[in-house]
Amino acid sequence: MLKLRDIRKTRGEGPQRYSLVVPQLDLRPGQRLALVGPSGSGKSTLLDLLALVLSPDPGGVFECSVDDPMLDVAGLWRSGRQDVLAGLRSRVMGYVLQTGGLLGFLDVQRNIGLSRSLLGLPADATVRRLAEQLEIADQLHKLPAALSVGQRQRVSIARALAHGPSIVLADEPTASLDPLNAERVMQLLVAQAEERGVCILVATHDEALARRAGLQLHPLQVQRGADGGVTATLAGGG
């Protein structure tokens, strides 16, 4: 669904330089991947590229074939078609953030339904079913502030799935949870993605957790260059 070849993103110069290099990455339906690396290695940068919110440097191949015909993402960035990219993002992607990113003035039900209502999708049983599967059905009429951190992350996962995306990107979804909750939330995320045949990519610094969840590990390998800057290269599989 997403195909990347020799995609790069550089920020800063000299000792402040940070470069991300993606020699090859393919996201396919039903795939479950983990992007692992220490803080500052570029996990969020890569997720932002994949989420179509951050433009890659010129060069390389970045294609999206969720829709027919295939879309040239790199070309859309070059020609400034942010409108097309934004439309693609809202239909195709779901996003889970470290701290949930929920809207504090909307109750749980409306937060989960947000991705659907923004797309003009009908209010059907989807929200309730997701809430049941994620064990938050009794929280639907509360505001996010009244929930535990673990419950908020489940709401965030439900919202990322509610509009039926093809790809869910999760940026450190368990980093603010205690170990027991982290394990449970990761299991729920993986199980719900699996049930729907959704491709998930989870960024985490917790390699052991990713392994236990059955995710395919993609490490970001960091090297310091002659200029004092840093280059992080995405490694595949294994």
Contact with ligand ADP (CB under 6 A): which of 42, 144, 173, 229? Answer: 42
**Closest distance between Mg ion and the C-beta of residue 140, in Å?**
30
What x/- string results for residues 44 through 83 when contact with ligand ADP is judged by CB under 6 A? Answer: xx--------------------------------------
Contact with Mg ion (CB under 5 A): which of 44, 166, 192, 204? Answer: 44
**H or E segment to which residue 109 belongs:** helix 108-118
Instruction: For 211, list phi and psi in degrees, rounded to 5.
Output: -65, -45
Q: List the beta strands (DSSP E) in the chain.
A: 2-11, 18-27, 32-36, 61-64, 71-72, 93-96, 167-171, 199-204, 216-224, 230-234
Residue with tokens 């799935």: 161
Nearer to ligand ADP, 12 or 87 (CB): 12
CA-based end-to-end distance of the chain: 21
Find which of ligand ADP, Mg ion, none residue 17 binds, CB within 5 to 8 Å per kind: none
Q: Does 111 bind ligand ADP (CB under 6 A)?
A: no
Scan residues 12-31 and list those touching ligand ADP (CB under 6 A). 12, 18
Find which of Mg ion, ligand ADP, none residue 41 binds, CB within 5 to 8 Å per kind: ligand ADP
Nearer to Mg ion, 36 or 136 (CB): 36
Nearer to ligand ADP, 61 or 175 (CB): 175
Q: Which residues, at least 6 apart from 204, have a Cβ–Cβ distance to it below 8 Å?
A: 34, 35, 36, 43, 172, 173, 174, 175, 210
- Binding residues for ligand ADP, total number by CB under 6 A: 11
Are the beta carbons of 192 and 134 closer than 8 angstroms?
yes
Nearer to Mg ion, 43 or 163 (CB): 43
Buried b (16+ CB within 10 A) or exposed e, 86-120: eebbebbbbbbbbebebeeeebbbbbbbbbbeeee
Are the beta carbons of 222 and 20 closer than 8 angstroms?
no
Nearer to ligand ADP, 19 or 111 (CB): 19
Q: Does 165 bind ligand ADP (CB under 6 A)?
A: no
Q: Does 40 bind ligand ADP (CB under 6 A)?
A: yes
Nearer to Mg ion, 43 or 218 (CB): 43
Are the beta carbons of 136 and 14 closer than 8 angstroms?
no
The window from 24-32, 43-51, 69-77, 149-157 that contacts ligand ADP (CB under 6 A) reads 43-51
The CB density around residue 179, as the number of other CB atoms within 10 Å, is 10
Q: Which residues bind ligand ADP (CB under 6 A)?
A: 11-12, 18, 37, 39-45
